[in-house]
Amino acid sequence: DTAVSQTPKYLVTQMGNDKSIKCEQNLGHDTMYWYKQDSKKFLKIMFSYNNKELIINETVPNRFSPKSPDKAHLNLHINSLELGDSAVYFCASSQVGWGPHNEQFFGPGTRLTVL
């Protein structure tokens, strides 16, 4: 029973293409996140959704558009892919509430390679 799943795990595509990464969580959490891990392994938040509503949008190019059809899903669509978009993208989820126990559960990551 995978808590946070992402598809695909690997994605190789050409510059200029449009691609999507899907994320699903079966934990009943109401907050989901997208993080980007660059080639130097640095992890940084991109977006955060709470109950399908965008609450955090870091400085990310407009070519990146998250979509949350329901609480359990948060997809990431990327238009006009560029070489610099090559990275590992992690989805995560957590439950709203005060306290450290609303820890974030991470998906397995999607390695995107743009040629």
Partner 1 sequence: AQTVTQSQPEMSVQEAETVTLSCTYDTSESDYYLFWYKQPPSRQMILVIRQEAYKQQNATENRFSVNFQKAAKSFSLKISDSQLGDAAMYFCAYRSATGNTPLVFGKGTRLSVIA
| Residues binding partner 1 (CB under 8 A) | 31, 33, 35, 40-45, 48, 50, 56, 88, 90, 92, 94-98, 100, 102-104, 106, 108-109, 111
Measured from the CB atom, the residue of 12 and 15 that comes closer to partner 1 is: 12
Closest approach, Cβ 80 to partner 1, in A, equals 26
> In terms of CB distance, is 77 or 106 closer to partner 1?
106
How many angstroms separate the most distant Cα atoms in the chain? 43
Whole-number Cα distances in Å, 70 to 6, 16, 47, 53, 74: 15, 29, 16, 10, 8
Which residue lies nearer to partner 1 by CB, 19 or 49?
A: 49
Of 86, 83, 81, which is closest to residue 111 (Cα–Cα)? 86
- Residue 25: CB minimum distance to partner 1, A: 14
Closest approach of partner 1 to the CB of residue 65, in Å: 18
Q: How many of the other CB atoms lie within 10 Å of CB of 50?
A: 17
How far apart are alpha carbons 70 and 112 in whole angstroms? 24
